[in-house]
Structure 1
Amino acid sequence: MTLSAGDRVELADLVARYALYVDRREFSALAGLFTSDAVLALPDPPKALAPVLEYSGRGEIQEAIGRVEFFAVTSHFLGGQVFDPGPEADTAEGWVNCAAHHISVREDGTPADLVWHVRYADSYRKEEGAWRFTGRALHIDWIETGSVRRVRG
């Protein structure tokens, strides 16, 4: 199978919507980007930067991603995206780079930025005419922290 230009645009849109829905806290919409049998694998920083925690199905995925509500604001900046045909018809694989900013408020009231530089290893399947994640594994390459002058809200 080859991926058409249209498939690549749809896959890029799927990846962008994931980031948008996390940042907007639209967790139900985010869960809808996954197939019913999908698996999301996340790291456990700072102990583990590789994906070691697995969440299966839309409900578990929604709950796991919902934990970002701890942060006042998040902002995901997508970098390079590569999509290849998968091993079966209507499947694909992808690799996506991202800098994920997580703004929190320190005990003294000043905001801080926790930045994860990540790579997603994705698998996708086309169902009912739409691409969905069947698997997403988040790998953190490095973590940095920074100061923030002011946070909206």
Structure 2
Amino acid sequence: MTPDPARLQELLDREEIRSLVHAYCNAADRHDHAKMRSLYHEDAIDEHGHMSKGPAMDFIDKLPEIQAPMEILHHNVTTINLALDGDRAEGEVYLIALHRVKGPDGPFDVLVGGRYFDRYERRDGRWKFAHRAIVADWANVHSPSIVDLDHPFLEGAHIGKPGPADPSYAFFNLLKRGADA
């Protein structure tokens, strides 16, 4: 049986979009702003609550300031619902994201369950975000933080960090970081 070229192309498109969604999580968690910028079209829109409602490039320009107090960011994508139409696609992407934030009274945790409402476009043969909006469905806040990275159970383990200090930068050779990812 000869594979249907249209179905194969749809499968390839879906996988490229899933990879885009996962790359976003990695860029956010590692505070990798060059990689983040490479995931959006230049004229893309990002709606990120009080942090941003407008051009994605403006949001990414503000990320160093937004992320400065965030000691831990950990985005986990679960369900991905996609609809494709040629060079356009839409996605409803479920996520759970942990934020450990330095506050004036010490660190606090915000665990958010929500969804991304995405519009993707393929331009010049590459899928990128054209519009991304965050939707919060629930949040669990712990103040003070309940994260304990000094617990004896974790002794000897690699501990994740934002930016190039993260152990993944020294460990991986094939997984790229920054704009070349």
Q: Normalising by structure 1, what TM-score?
A: 0.82
- Flag the 1:129–1:19 CA change in 2: closer, same or farther, 3 A: same
Q: What residue in structure 1 maps to residue 29 of structure 2?
A: 23
Larger Rg over CA atoms: 2
Unmatched tracts of structure 1, length 5 or more: 46-52
- Please state which structure has a larger fraction of its residues in helix: 2
Match of 2:50 among 44, 50, 60: 44
Return the letter of the residue paired with 1:85.
L
Percent identity among equivalent residues?
25
Q: Is the 8 A contact 2:69 2:102 kept in 1?
A: no
Measure, in 1, the Cα distance between the counterparts of 2:130 and 2:71: 29
- Please state which structure has a larger fraction of its residues in strand: 1
How far off is 1:106 after superposition? Answer: 5.1
Q: What residue in structure 2 maps to residue 9 of structure 1?
A: 15
Provide, for residues 58-113 of structure 1, a one-character-per-residue CA deviation record: whole Å limited to 9, x for no partner. 2x031244312321110001110011024xx301000101111101245565x432
Q: Normalising by structure 2, what TM-score?
A: 0.70
Measure, in 1, the Cα distance between the counterparts of 2:62 and 2:24: 14
Match of 1:115 among 85, 89, 111: 111
How far off is 1:44 after superposition? Answer: 2.9
Map 1:4-153; keep pairs closer than 5 Å: 4-44=10-50, 53-58=52-57, 60-66=58-64, 67-86=66-85, 89-105=86-102, 109=106, 111-146=107-142, 147-150=146-149, 152=159
Measure, in 1, the Cα distance between the counterparts of 2:62 and 2:119: 19
Return the letter of the residue paired with 1:93.
E
Instruction: Spell out structure 1 runs of 4+ moving beyond 3 A.
Output: 105-109
Unmatched tracts of structure 2, length 5 or more: 1-5, 151-158, 162-181
Measure, in 1, the Cα distance between the counterparts of 2:103 and 2:117: 32
Q: What residue in structure 1 maps to residue 153 of structure 2?
A: none
How far off is 1:145 after superposition? Answer: 1.9
